[in-house]
Structure formats: structure tokens, C-alpha cells
Amino acid sequence: MDIKHKETETRGMFYLENNEGVYAELTYTHKDNDILTIDHTEVNEDLEGQGIAGKLLKRAVEYARNQGLKIDPLCPYAEVQFERNESYQDVKVK
């Protein structure tokens, strides 16, 4: 699975695409205070339940660690996953 990443000065996304376009995405806002606010996670309905959203979130966490950033998991999916996954707590905004 080749997760792609694109970013502007204030927004970014991790995503997967095929010949038909983007079929899964996790979007975030990048604040000046080194915080990524995950605001949306979506996977095409016919691909739900395959762990794709979890892989996008894991990639976002790895990115935050590598860049010295913190994550504010605003979207409901990310919020639940941060509560369930102890290993993500080091990048979660306190």
C-alpha cells in the first residue's frame, strides 16, 4: 500500500489513490505551534473494514514523530483510535 502525502503551508493529507482517483484520505490542518489537527478521515464505502483508515492514521503518527510535531485528533475516528492505542500518546496534544 503506497500511502502518499501532500502538504501546503497550512493543510495536508495522507491518501491512497488508484486509476479512479483518491479512495482513502486523512486530512489535517498544520498550525504554527507545531500541532497537526486531524480533521477528517474517509475511506470509500466499498473498502471500509479493511484497516485502511488505521494505516493512514499510523502514517500520520509516524510523520508527526519524525517532524517533532504533536497531533490533536479532532475527527471522531482519530479520537477513538488515540484513546485505544497507547503507543500514540507520545504525539497527542495534552
Query: What confidence score (pLDDT) does residue 31 get?
Result: 81
Residue 1: pLDDT above 80? no
**pTM for this one?**
0.94
Residues contacting residue 92 through CB under 8 Å, at least 6 positions apart: 70, 71, 72, 73, 82
The count of structural domains within the chain is: 1
Tens digit of pLDDT for each residue in 40-82?
999 999 989 999 999 999 999 999 999 999 999 999 999 999 9
At 14 the pLDDT is 98
Question: Which residues are registered as beta bridge partners of 13?
Answer: 6, 27
CATH of the domain at 22: 3.40.630.30
SS3 86: helix
> Residue 42's domain spans which residues?
4-91
Nearest to 59 by CA among 15, 8, 29: 15
